[in-house]
Amino acid sequence: MEKSYTYVMSDIHGEYDAFVKMLDKIKFNDKDKLYVIGDVLDRGPKPIKTLMHIMSLNNITMLAGNHEHMAILCLRVLIEDLTDEVFAKISDKFIESLEDWKMNGGGTTIKDLFDYSKEDRKRALDFLIKLKLYKELTVEDKKYILVHAGLGNFNKNKKLKEYNIMELVWDRMDYAKKYYDDRYIVVGHTPTQLIENNKNPGYIYINNNNIAIDCGCTFKDGRLGCLRLNDMKEYYI
Ligand SMILES: [Mn+2]
């Protein structure tokens, strides 16, 4: 019988072509499971196409990243037809969120989104709103916590459900610190090019039970990485 594998990927950022090439490279099939740890949207050319592909496969679980968080704040208003009621929702706070999102590469998501029908746009937004912020799992007797950015204001006694959204999708890890002795934390968010004292920038980084898998695929010197948790085999596009 064919073995089933568990994979993790992160920060695809609209790089649809790299994503489908990766699925092909790992020979992703019905028996396998893939966790995409946030930041599917923004920057690259096809964020919504990538999202729709993820939505179409029920053995992929996506978690929210800060880019999904920014997008949700804006799309709740932007996908509506402009009526008086919608216009009234355009507050200073909304405009601030929109500026933030735009500055962080939200333009490509908007551009891609409006190639889809209103029904599809709503479906995409509903999917984004329902995304979880973390996932705990065990693979081959090893325990993992998957989360987009990290565990901000970390405290060993704090339960995962007690972290707020900003602590999980924005606050960066301290890669020099071992958070738990008995489990690994798998994160994206910080391209491994930016991790201090990293001898292998742009590739998956494993140290102190921290596993960083954002290899900066939208960077000139970056690539999309994928890690197979069963045996820590690394794949790159
Ligand atoms: Mn991020």
**Domain membership flag for residue 44:** yes
Structure tokens at 94: 């909304």
Please give the torsion angle defined by the CA atoms of residues 147, 153, 155 and 159, in that order, rounded to the nearest 10 degrees: -50
Q: How remote is the CA of residue 83 from the centroid of ligand 1, in Å?
A: 33
Q: How remote is the CA of residue 149 from the centroid of ligand 1, in Å?
A: 6
Q: Which regions in the chain score pLDDT beneath 70?
A: 1
Residue 17 is predicted with a pLDDT of 98
- Total domains in the chain come to 1
Asked whether the beta carbons of 65 and 169 are under 8 A apart, the reply is yes
Q: How remote is the CA of residue 109 from the centroid of ligand 1, in Å?
A: 15
Q: Give the domain range for residue 29.
A: 6-66+130-236
**Domain membership flag for residue 124:** no
**Each residue of 175-206: pLDDT tens digit?**
999 999 999 999 999 999 999 999 999 999 99
Q: How remote is the CA of residue 92 from the centroid of ligand 1, in Å?
A: 24
Q: How remote is the CA of residue 66 from the centroid of ligand 1, in Å?
A: 5
**Domain membership flag for residue 215:** yes
Asked whether the beta carbons of 9 and 37 are under 8 A apart, the reply is yes
Q: Residue 10 class from Cβ within 10 Å (0-12 exposed, 13-18 middle, 19+ buried)?
A: buried
Q: How remote is the CA of residue 113 from the centroid of ligand 1, in Å?
A: 20
Residue 55 is predicted with a pLDDT of 98
**Domain membership flag for residue 157:** yes
Q: How remote is the CA of residue 55 from the centroid of ligand 1, in Å?
A: 20
**Domain membership flag for residue 38:** yes
Q: How remote is the CA of residue 40 from the centroid of ligand 1, in Å?
A: 9
Domain containing residue 215: CATH number: 3.60.21.10
Residue 82 is predicted with a pLDDT of 86
**Domain membership flag for residue 75:** no
**Composition of the chain by helix, strand, coil, percent to 5:** 35, 20, 50
Q: How remote is the CA of residue 88 from the centroid of ligand 1, in Å?
A: 30
Report how far residue 98's alpha carbon sits from residue 78's, in angstroms, rounded to the nearest whole number. Answer: 10
Report how far residue 121's alpha carbon sits from residue 108's, in angstroms, rounded to the nearest whole number. Answer: 14
Beta bridge partners of 60: 34
Asked whether the beta carbons of 220 and 14 are under 8 A apart, the reply is no
